[in-house]
C-alpha cells in the first residue's frame, strides 16, 4: 500500500531527498536550508551559485538557462547516487531556468550528514554531478555583443 501524507507532495520522513526542482522563479536559500534540517545531522553544507559579471575575461550582461524535459529526472538520479554514496540525512537541490541578471541565484544545493566532512564531500559531489550530468544549458550574453552557450 502506498504511504499517505497530510500535505500534497509531502515525502516520507525516511526519504533523505527532500527537495528537487528546476524552476523559472527566484530561488530561496531559506527554503533549501529548511528542507535539509534533520535532528540526526551534525553538519550541513550549502552551495549557492550566482550569476557573476564576467567569464573568461569578458563582461557578462545577463544569461539564460534552459533545460531538457528530462532534467528533473536526471537531477533525481544524481541525488539518489549521492544518497547511496554518503551518509546523507537530507538533501535538496534547486536550479533556475529562464533569464537571470548578474547577482541572481542560479542554483542552490544542500546536504546534511552526521558530520561536517561528510556533508562537505556530499554537497561537492552533488553540485559537481549536477553541473556535469543534468541537461541544463547556459546562454551567456556579453557586453561586447558576443554570446556563448555553455554545457550545450
Helix (H, G, I), strand (E, B) or coil at 10: coil
pLDDT of 13: 52
pLDDT of 37: 97
pLDDT tens track for 48-107? 999 999 998 999 998 999 999 999 999 999 999 999 999 999 999 999 999 999 999 999
Q: In the chain, what percentage of residues exceed pLDDT 70?
A: 91
Phi, psi (deg, nearest 5) at residue 59: -75, 130
pLDDT of 62: 87
Average pLDDT in the chain: 91
pLDDT of 152: 58
Report d(CA 60, CA 1) in Å as an integer.
52
pTM for the model stands at 0.88
Strands (E), the chain: 17-23, 43-50, 54-55, 58-67, 90-96, 98-101, 105-113, 136-142, 147-150
Amino acid at each position: 500500500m502506498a504511504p499517505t501524507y497530510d500535505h500534497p507532495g509531502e515525502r516520507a520522513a525516511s526519504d533523505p531527498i527532500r527537495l528537487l526542482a528546476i524552476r523559472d522563479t527566484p530561488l530561496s536559500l531559506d527554503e533549501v536550508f529548511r528542507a535539509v534540517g534533520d535532528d540526526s545531522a551534525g553538519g550541513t553544507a550549502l552551495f549557492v551559485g550566482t550569476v557573476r559579471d564576467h567569464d573568461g575575461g569578458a563582461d557578462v550582461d545577463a544569461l539564460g538557462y534552459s533545460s531538457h524535459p528530462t532534467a528533473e529526472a536526471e537531477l533525481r538520479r544524481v541525488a539518489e547516487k549521492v544518497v547511496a554514496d554518503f551518509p546523507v540525512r537530507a538533501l535538496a537541490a534547486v536550479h533556475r531556468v529562464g533569464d537571470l541578471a548578474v547577482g541572481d541565484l542560479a542554483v542552490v544545493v544542500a546536504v546534511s550528514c552526521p558530520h561536517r566532512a561528510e556533508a562537505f564531500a556530499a554537497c561537492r559531489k552533488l553540485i559537481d554531478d549536477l553541473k556535469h550530468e543534468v541537461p541544463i544549458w547556459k546562454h551567456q550574453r556579453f557586453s561586447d555583443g558576443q554570446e556563448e552557450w555553455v554545457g550545450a
